[in-house]
Amino acid sequence: MAKRCLGIDLGGTFIKFGLLTEDRTLGGTLQLPTPPGGGGDRVIAQMADGAKRLMESAGLKRRDVVAAGVGAPGPADFAAGVILAMPNISGMENVPLARSLCEAIGVPVVLENDANAAAYGEYCCGAGVGCRNLVLLTLGTGVGSGIIVEGEVLHGSHDAGGEIGHMIVQPGGEPCGCGQQGCLERYSSAVHMAGRARRMIEEGKTGALADVLRRHGVLDATDILATRKAGDALAAEVWDQGAYYLAVACVNICRVLDPDKIILAGGLAGAGDELLAPVAAHFRRLHWSLTPPRTQIALSALGGEAGVIGAAAVAWRASRQK
C-alpha cells in the first residue's frame, strides 16, 4: 500500500479531508460540517472522526499514513501547533490542536495557516508547479495570502508574514477593522465591494445593480459580476476599483518578492477571466518600464481543493525534514 499524508482544511462551515500520495496524487476526499457551537474538543473529535472514516474507506491502516497536516485560519503558534483564536469558530482559544489530534488519530500532526497551506498546495500540485517563488491571494469575504520563497512557506519572525490583505494600498484611505486605513481588503474583497456598491446606491446611484438591491434588500459580489456583464456602470466601476487595487498590490509584491507567479484564488477568482483580465491589464499599466513584467498573474488551478491538498503537502514536507 502506497503511503499517504492526510490533509485537513478547517473552515468556519466545513472541515474538508483528503489523502495525498508522495507523488502528489489526491486520493479520497471527505467533507463534514464544522460543529456549529465550536469548541476545541468537539472540533478535534470531528476531525478525528473524519480522518478515521476517510482512512477506512480508502482501506488504509494507521501505519499507511505518514502524517497529517491541518490548515486553519490564524492566529496560531504554528511551530507549537497551537491555535490561539479563530475568528469564525467560537471556543477555539489556546487549543493545542496538533498534540490533541495526534493523540486521537495516532499520526504526527502539523499545523499551518490555511492560506499558506493553499499556497503550498498550488506550489506542489497546481498553478505554481515549476515556480520557485509565488504568492497566493485568496479573494473572498476578506483577502488572505500565502507566500512561498524558494520552495518554503514564508512565516516571518512572528508568524504574521503573508497578510497582504492588510497591505496599505491607499494611504489615508477607507478605515479597516484592523485599525489601519486603506488596506487592500477594503477595496478588493467581496464583502467590501458589495458594501461600497450599496453605499453608492444609497447616495443615489441607479441602474441594474441598484434594482437588485431594491428587490432583494442585499447585495453580494455575484450581483456585481452579473450586472457588470450586463453593462451596469456602477457594477463596472466597483469591480474595476477592486481589480485596480489588486494590481497595485501585485506591483508591490513584485518589488518586494519578485515571484514567478501571483495566483488569484478564493470565491472571487471563480469569476475567472472576468477578474484576471482587468487585474492583469492594470498590472501591466502600473508596472515599471525598466523591464517587461516577468511575474505572471494567474488563476488558481486547484480551486477549493488547494487547502486540503496543501495541508497534506505540508505534512509530507514536514515528514521529510525529520
- Shortest Cβ distance from residue 143 to a second copy (Å)? 11
Measured at the CA of 311, the angle between CA 122 and CA 273, to 5 degrees, comes to 30
| CA quadruple 231, 237, 241, 244: dihedral sign | positive
Contact status: 93 vs a second copy (CB under 8 A)? no
Site string for a second copy, 131-160 (x = CB under 8 A): xxx-------------x-xx-x-xxxxxxx
Contact 233, 207 (CB under 8 A): yes
> How near is the Cβ of 185 to a second copy at its closest, in Å?
11
Question: Of the candidates 271, 269, 196, which has an alpha carbon nearest to the alpha carbon of residue 235?
Answer: 196
Q: Which of 46, 170, 222, 319 binds a second copy (CB under 8 A)?
A: 170
Q: Residues 33, 36, 217, 291: which binds a second copy (CB under 8 A)? A: 291
* Residue 129 within binding range of a second copy, rule CB under 8 A: no
Is residue 2 at the binding interface for a second copy, with CB under 8 A as the rule?
Answer: no
Site residues for a second copy, 47-66, by CB under 8 A, read none
Among 58, 168, 226, 233, binds a second copy (CB under 8 A): 168
Q: Is 321 in the site for a second copy (CB under 8 A)?
A: no
Say if residues 71 and 101 touch (Cβ distance below 8 Å). Answer: no
Q: Which of residues 229-258 bind a second copy (CB under 8 A)?
A: 244-245, 248, 251-258
- CA dist., res. 111 & res. 127, Å (int): 23
CA 162 to mean position of chain CA atoms: 11
Specify whether the CB–CB gap between 52 and 107 falls below 8 A.
no
Residue 130 binds a second copy (CB under 8 A) = no
Closer to a second copy by Cβ: residue 7 or 162? 162
List C-alpha distances in Å: 209 to 106, 142, 238, 270.
53, 22, 11, 20
- Determine which residue in the list 57, 103, 175, 288 makes contact with a second copy, applying CB under 8 A: 288
Q: Which three cell numbers stand for residue 32?
A: 463534514
- Give the C-alpha separation, 16 to 29, whole Å: 7
Q: Which is nearer to a second copy, 259 or 270 (CB)?
A: 259
How many residues sit close enough to a second copy to count as binding (CB under 8 A)?
A: 50
Around 275, how many Cα atoms within 13 Å sit in the side-chain half-sphere? Answer: 28
- Number of residues that this document lists for the chain: 322
Q: How near is the Cβ of 211 to a second copy at its closest, in Å?
A: 32
Residue closer to a second copy (CB basis): 259 or 266: 259
Check residue 284 for interaction with a second copy (CB under 8 A): no
Per CB under 8 A, does 297 bind a second copy? no
Alpha helices, DSSP H only, in 33-113?
40-57, 97-105
Q: What contacts 61, CB < 8 A, 6 or more positions away? A: 1, 55
Nearer to a second copy, 107 or 184 (CB): 184
Site residues (vs a second copy, CB under 8 A): 131-133, 147, 149-150, 152, 154-164, 166-171, 176, 178-181, 244-245, 248, 251-260, 286-291, 294-295
